[in-house]
Structure 1
Amino acid sequence: MRGIFIFLLAVAAGICGAVSAAPAGAAAGGLVMVLKVEGIISPATSDFITRGLKQAQDGGAALVVLELDTPGGLDTSMRSIIRQILSSPVPVATFVGPAGARAASAGTFILYASHVAAMAPASNLGAASPVSIGAGAPAQGKDADKDSGADTLTRKATNDAAAYIRSLAQLRGRNADFAEKAVQEAHSMSAQEALSAGAIDLIAANVPELLRKLDGRTIKLDSGAAVTLATEGARIERVEPDWRNRILSLLANPQIAVLLMMVGIYGLFFELTSPGAALPGVAGLICLLLGLYAFQMLPVNWAGVGLLAAGAAMMIAEAFLPSFGVLGVGGIVAFVLGGLLLIDTDIPGYGLTLPFLAGVALTGLGMILATGWLAARVRRQRVVSGEEQMPGLPGVVTAVGEGTIYAEVRGENWRVACAQPLRVGDRIRVLAIDGLLLTVERVSGPGGAAAGQYSKGDTHVL
C-alpha cells in the first residue's frame, strides 16, 4: 500500500509539473468561430461582427476568423469594426477568401487591424482611397499639395485615412509603405505579392489549412497578454447573419430607404384625406419611421432628404391646388435633385441611379394624373349628398292633417307643400327645397291613380 501511495504521488507531481511548464498564455484548442463577411461594409456588418466577437468571448473560443470578401464600405462602420478587433480578448484572424475574394478599401483596413492577416490564392487587397460625391479626385502621392485643383476636404480625408492605416501597419508590424500607397494612390496587390511585401502573414487555401498553419503561433493581444494558438483539429463553428442582420442590411440600402419614405408619406396623406381608414396611416407611419432609421444609418446629406420630402409634398399638393402643373413639375425636379444629393459617398452599391429616381418620380406623376382624372370624373357626376341632391328624389306621403303634410324622402320625414291635393300613400317627387320645407309634385296615388283624379274634399297645401 505504501508503494502504491508513493507511486500515485509521483504521477500527480508529474502532471502538475507538465501543466506548470505549459506556456502561460496558451489558448486551449477546441473552438474556432468563423464569421462570414461578404458584401459592402455597412452598419449591419458592424453589428454582426460585434455580436460575433461577444459570442466568441462568452463561448470561450480560441480564435475568431473573419472570412472576408468585400469591395469596401462606410468609414464609420469600418472604424467601429476595427475598434472591436483591437479591444477583443480573443485573437482575430482575417482571411480574405475563398479564392477570388478581395479586401478592397475598408477591407484593407480591417485586414491590417487583425492579429493575423491571411489570404487565399487568387485574392487581392488594396485600392483603399476614400471617395465621396462632389469631391475632386484624390491627390496623388507627394504632389498632393501642389495640385491646386485638388479638393481640400478630399485631401483631408485621404491624409487622415493614410495616417490611420499606417498606424495599424506599425501596430501589427506589416508593410506600412504599401498601406499608405493603397490609400494615397489606390495601389492593389495580389495575395502572393502581399505575402512577399510583408503586408500579410500567410496564404492558405481554406479555413482548415489556415488553422493548421496557425497552430502553435503566439499572438500578442492589445491588452499585452500573449496567447499561443492550438488550432489544429479545432472544432469550427460557422456563424451566419441572422434575421436581424438581414433586416439591417436591407434597410441600409438607400433605394429601400427612399421607397420606405415615399410609402410612408403617401400612406399618411391618404389617412389624412380619408380619416378612419386606419390601414394607410398605420402602414405609412411604420414605413416612414423605418425610412428615417435607414437614413440615420446611411451617410446621407440631409439637404437631399429635405428635397425628397419637399418634392413628394409638392407632387401631392398638385392634385388639390389650382397650380396648373407648376407644383407637380417642381416636385419632380426637387425629388430627382434630392436623390442625386442624398448619399454622401461614392461607394459602389450606395448610389441612387437616375433610372431609379426617374421611376419613382414617374410613379408620383402617375398618382397625380390618376387623382386629377378621378376628381374630374366625380365633378361630372350628379351630386349625391346635401341640398343639391334633393330635387328629383321620390317619396311617399306619410301623414296629412290640419293643413300640414309629411312625406318620407330617402328615409327621412319632411314637411311638404304641393299644388295638388295629397293624401296618405301618394307617391311624390321633390321639385325644390326651402329650408326644411320641400316643394313636391304628385306622381301617383296609392293604387297607381294618375294625378288629378281625386274627388272634392281632398286635403292639400298651397
Structure 2
Amino acid sequence: MTRPPKRPRVQGARFSAHRSTACSFLEAGKFTRVPLHGLGKTYNRLMRRKVFLLGLLGLLLVGEGAEVWLLSVEGEIGRGMVSYLHKGLAEAERAGAAAVILEFSTPGGYLDAAQSCRDLILGAKVRTLAYVNREAYSAGALLAIACERIYFAPGGVLGAATPVYFDPQGRMEEAPEKVISAVRALFRATAEARGRDPLVAEAMVDRTVAIPGLVERGKLLTLTAKTAAEWGYSDGEAEDLGQVLNLAGLAGSVIRAFSYGWMDRLVDMLTNPWVASLLILIGVSGILVELFTPGFGLPGTVGLASLLLFFWAHYLAGLAGWESLLFFLGGIIAIVLEIFVFTATDFGVAGIAGLILLGLGFYTAMTGPLTQPKEVLSAVGAVALALVLSLVGFALFLTWVPQSRLRLGGVVLKAAIEERAVGKLAPTASPYVGKRGNALTDLHPVGKAEVEGEQLDVVAEEGFIPKGSTVEIVRDEGYRKVVRRVKEG
C-alpha cells in the first residue's frame, strides 16, 4: 500500500505562549505579535463609557423628564367619556408619552359607552395603567381590567358589575339573563386579553359564578386591594400617583393631566335622546323644505348642519356607523323619488319605505348592542316624535306656500316648484286648458286628476293640492298638465 502524501507544514502555525504578546492573523500561515501592555485599562474605560451611555438613554426614555398622561374617569361613564378617552389616548400616543394613567372614581355608567371605552383602551398603542382611587364599580371595573396594570389606593374597591336598569316605576332591576350573559362574556374576554383569571371577572357580573375561597354562589364579587393582589388583579398598592410611578418603573416622570373638555360635554349633551330628537326634527324639516326651493338656501344649510351634528356626536360616542348613514341616505332618496317621480295613490310605497329607512338610520345611530332598555325606548320615542313633527311641519309648509310670495335667490318659489316638476313651462294652445276635474291623489306637486272621465298626470301650480279638490288645467305641457285649485263658491 502506498502512503498518502504528507501535508506540507505551515510556518508559524503555533500561537506564542509569551505572556506579554498576542498574535493576530495577517496572511495565510503568518502571524505578528501585538503588545498587550495597557489593553485591560482601555477595555475598562470603554465599558464604563458604554454603561454611562446606556444609563443616559434609559433616563431619556423613561426617567427624568418623561411624560405620563393622567386621564380621570370620574362620575358616571357616559357618551362624552368615549370622546374624552379617544382624544386623550390618541394625543398621548402622538406626544410619545411613556404611559397613560387612568384614575378611577366612578359608580359605573352606560354599558354601550363602557364597551366603546374598553375597545379604545385595549387598542391603545401607549402603556395603560389603572389607578383605583377609590372605587371602580360596574362599567368602571371593565375599563380598569382593560388596562395593562392595575394599582389600588388604600381602601380601593373594584367590581359589582352586574348590569341593571330602572323600570317605569323608577325601581332598579337586574337586566335579563341575555344581557347578563353578553356582559359576562365581555368581562371574560377583557380579562383574558390582559392575562388575568377570567373567572374572577365573570364573578363580578354574574351571581351564579362561585369561586372557592373568594366568593360564594348568589353574591356579586367586589375586590379590595388585598384580595385583588391575591388573585392577580392588583400590581401594587399606592398612596398617591407618585407611588404609582415608582411601582410602574416610571420614577421621576412628569405627570400631565388631560382634562375633560367642552367638546366632550357637547357630545354628552347632543347624544341625549331628546336633544337628538330636536336635531332630527330640524334636519329632516330643513332638507324637505329645501327640496321645494331653488338653489341651496337657509333651510338646507340649517338642516344639513343639524344632521351633521347628530351623526358626528353619535359617531364620537361609538354608536353611529356606516350602516346608520346608509339607512339615512336610502331614506332621503326614497322620499325624493316619492315626491318628484312616483304618483301612486296618496303616500306610496317609496314614501313609506323612506320613512322606515330614515327611522332605522337614526335609531341605529342612537343605540348599540348593550344599550339599556330605557335608553332604547327613549331612542324609539325620540325618533318617532321627530319624524311625525317633521311631516306635520312639512305639510303646513306646503299649505302655506301658495299664499306666500316668498323669494329665494330671486326666483318665486311657485315657479321653482313647477320647473322642478316639468322643466321650464311655456304656454301652448291646447284643448285641455280651461277644463276642470277632481284631484284623484294628493298633488305634492305631482299626482293624478280626473278630467271629463280621463285620468291625467298633473302638477300643482301651488305646490300642493289635497285629494278630492276641484282643479282647473291652466297649461298643457304634453305628457303632464299644470293645474290650479278652484276655490269653491
TM-score using structure 1 length:
0.51
Aligned to 1:299: 319
1:111 aligns with 2:150: no
Q: Which amino acid aligns with 1:367?
A: G
Query: Residue 356 and residue 369 in structure 1: after superposition, are their counterparts in 2 closer, same or farther (change >3 A)?
Result: same
Aligned to 1:211: 242
Distance 1:289 1:304 in 2: 11
The counterpart of 1:52, out of the listed 91, 100, 106, is 91
Aligned to 1:36: 72
Structure 2 unaligned residues grouped into runs of 5+: 1-44, 166-173, 210-219, 405-413, 416-489
Post-superposition offset of 1:338: 8.1
Post-superposition offset of 1:28: 0.8
Q: Which amino acid aligns with 2:250?
A: L
Q: Which amino acid aligns with 2:222?
A: M
Which residues in structure 2 correspond to 1:96-135 (within 5 Å)? 96-97=132-133, 99=134, 101-105=135-139, 107-120=140-153, 124-128=157-161
Distance 1:46 1:243 in 2: 14
Query: Residue 21 and residue 240 in structure 1: after superposition, are their counterparts in 2 closer, same or farther (change >3 A)?
Result: closer
Contact 1:108 1:128 in 2 (8 A): yes
Distance 1:127 1:273 in 2: 56
Which residues in structure 2 correspond to 1:299-448 (within 5 Å)? 299=319, 306=327, 343-347=367-371, 351=376, 353=378, 356=382, 360=386, 363-364=389-390, 367=393, 370-371=396-397, 374=400
Aligned to 2:257: 238
Aligned to 2:487: none
Aligned to 2:299: 280
Post-superposition offset of 1:362: 6.5
Distance 1:330 1:62 in 2: 53
Query: Residue 263 and residue 54 in structure 1: after superposition, are their counterparts in 2 closer, same or farther (change >3 A)?
Result: same
1:264 aligns with 2:288: no
Distance 1:14 1:277 in 2: 74
Residue identity over aligned pairs, in percent, reads 23
1:234-283 deviations in Å (ceiling 9; x for gaps): 54321124555555555555555554343222112222223257111222
Aligned to 2:130: 94
* SS of residue paired to 2:199: helix
Query: Residue 284 and residue 92 in structure 1: after superposition, are their counterparts in 2 closer, same or farther (change >3 A)?
Result: same
More displaced stretch, 262-271 vs 29-38? 29-38
Contact 1:33 1:63 in 2 (8 A): yes
Post-superposition offset of 1:55: 4.2
Query: Residue 254 and residue 127 in structure 1: after superposition, are their counterparts in 2 closer, same or farther (change >3 A)?
Result: farther
Contact 1:48 1:245 in 2 (8 A): no
Contact 2:331 2:353 in 1 (8 A): no
Query: Residue 334 and residue 352 in structure 1: after superposition, are their counterparts in 2 closer, same or farther (change >3 A)?
Result: farther
* SS of residue paired to 1:344: coil
1:334-377 deviations in Å (ceiling 9; x for gaps): 98898777523344695452764575466447636754774798
* SS of residue paired to 1:54: helix
1:19-76 deviations in Å (ceiling 9; x for gaps): 479699563134432122443366524422332321441xxx4542122345252534
1:267-318 deviations in Å (ceiling 9; x for gaps): 122222232571112222233344344555543595899599969998xx99
Query: Residue 263 and residue 124 in structure 1: after superposition, are their counterparts in 2 closer, same or farther (change >3 A)?
Result: farther
Contact 1:122 1:191 in 2 (8 A): yes
Post-superposition offset of 1:117: 1.1
Contact 2:334 2:351 in 1 (8 A): no
Query: Residue 264 and residue 345 in structure 1: after superposition, are their counterparts in 2 closer, same or farther (change >3 A)?
Result: same
Distance 2:48 2:161 in 1: 52
Distance 2:63 2:147 in 1: 20
Aligned to 1:199: 233
RMSD: 5.4
Query: Residue 138 and residue 23 in structure 1: after superposition, are their counterparts in 2 closer, same or farther (change >3 A)?
Result: farther
* SS of residue paired to 1:275: coil
Aligned to 2:484: none
Q: Which amino acid aligns with 2:138?
A: A
Query: Residue 290 and residue 164 in structure 1: after superposition, are their counterparts in 2 closer, same or farther (change >3 A)?
Result: same
Which residues in structure 2 correspond to 1:155-194 (within 5 Å)? 157=182, 160-170=185-195, 174-185=196-207, 187-189=220-222, 191-192=224-225, 194=228
* SS of residue paired to 1:50: helix
Structure 1 unaligned residues grouped into runs of 5+: 1-11, 140-149, 220-227, 379-384, 387-462
Contact 1:120 1:191 in 2 (8 A): no
* SS of residue paired to 1:211: helix
